[in-house]
Structures are given as C-alpha cells and as structure tokens.
Amino acid sequence: MHVYLEAARIRREGAVKSQIESASRALNLFTKGSNLIDEMRPPKRRGLYAVFGSPVDDIKGLEESNNLVDECQRIRLEIVRSVSDLQRAIESQSLKPTNLGERKKRLRILVELLAKWWVSETGRSIAPYVKAKRLDHRPAFVEGRSGDFLSLAKALFCQLDQFKESEVIAAVTNVHEGFSATKKSAAISAK
C-alpha cells in the first residue's frame, strides 16, 4: 500500500517542462492583457499618476472615466491577483528537479518504489535472470526473464493493476539498468 501511496504523491507533485512552459505563456498573456486594460484609462489616470492622484478638476472632460473603464479596472485587479498566484506556482514548480524531462509513467514509478523497498527489506538485487539461447556465430536472443523480484512485480502489477506482463518485464529491466548506471556513476565519481 505504501508503494502505491508514494507513487501517487510523486506523480501528483511532478510537473513537466511543457506544463511549465504553457503556464509561463499564460502568465505572459495575462500580463499583456492587464496592460491593455490599463491603457483604457486616460493617460493621467495611469501608472504613477493614478497612485499619486489624478487631476481633481477636469474642466474639458479629457480625463473622465466611464462605467466600462471602471468595470475593466475592477477586473484588472482580479487579474493582477491571479497573475501573482500563477507566478508563485510556476516558480515553486521550476525549483523541483522532476520537471526536467517527460513525466515518468505510473508503472515506472511503481516499479522504482517497489525496487527500493525490495532492496531495503531483502538486501537482494532486483536483477532479473535472463534466459538466452546462443546460436552458432550469431548473437544470442532472449527467450525470457525470471527472478523473485520480477515474480513479485508481475503478481502485483499484472494481477492487481492489469498491466501487461511485457510492460512489467520491460519496466523491471529498465529500472534495473537505471540502478546499475547510477551505481557505476557513483563508483566512477568516488575514484
């Protein structure tokens, strides 16, 4: 159960690069829209003029406002609040390392978490045994894979989650190769 809950948490918290890029484009459009709404106001009622106060007596009526401008300014204030919320959300997701590439698929995350649990509890490798057939002067071909961890993964993910057996075997193989590559990198950097 812990494996499933942790996998759900990881997928929930992770954003991908394309999602962050879309949110950034939306932020840019919101900012442009807010600026366009501000341009509806007369020049002496914009920017710092508006902050420090616009002219009190407008004899010629050049600085007058109307209902449309007032309603749009109210909407602009709501946009500005939403823009700041969106900007904070983008910044918080950009700091997380999970957004660098494509989001990992659910099965891959489940297998990774199950593998971490397996190694910590049993102290044994997750490497599947490869059954291969050697042919004369040609490369061997794989007939199948087996092993205790692979059997556990297939029992969980094929029967409970109804993943295909080939998907589970591929995920276990990929996770094993990923773990092996990480160990090799750590050993090389330690030298």
Q: Against a cut of 0.95, is the pTM above it? A: no
Mean of the per-residue pLDDT values for the chain? 79
Q: How confident is the model at residue 59 (pLDDT cuts 50, 70, 90)?
A: low
Task: Name which of 12-26, 54-68, 80-94 the model is least confident about.
Answer: 54-68
**What's the confidence (pLDDT) of residue 29?**
92
Determine the distance from the C-alpha atom of residue 179 to the mean position of all C-alpha atoms in its chain, rounded to a whole number: 22
What is residue 25's predicted lDDT score, i.e. its pLDDT? 92
**In the chain, beta strands by DSSP E:** 129-135, 138-146
Return all residues near 148 (Cβ < 8 A) that are at least 6 apart.
124
C-alpha 138, offset from chain centre: 44
Average pLDDT of span 119-126: 87
CB 20 within 8 Å of CB 93? yes
Residue 99's pLDDT is what?
44
pLDDT digits (tens, 9 = 90+) for 64-96: 667 888 888 888 888 888 888 999 888 888 776
The DSSP secondary structure of 135-185, one letter per residue, reads ETTEEEEEEEEE-HHHHHHHIIIIIIS---HHHHHHHHHHHHHHHHHHHHH
So what's the pLDDT on residue 28?
92
Query: Residue 3: what pLDDT?
Result: 76
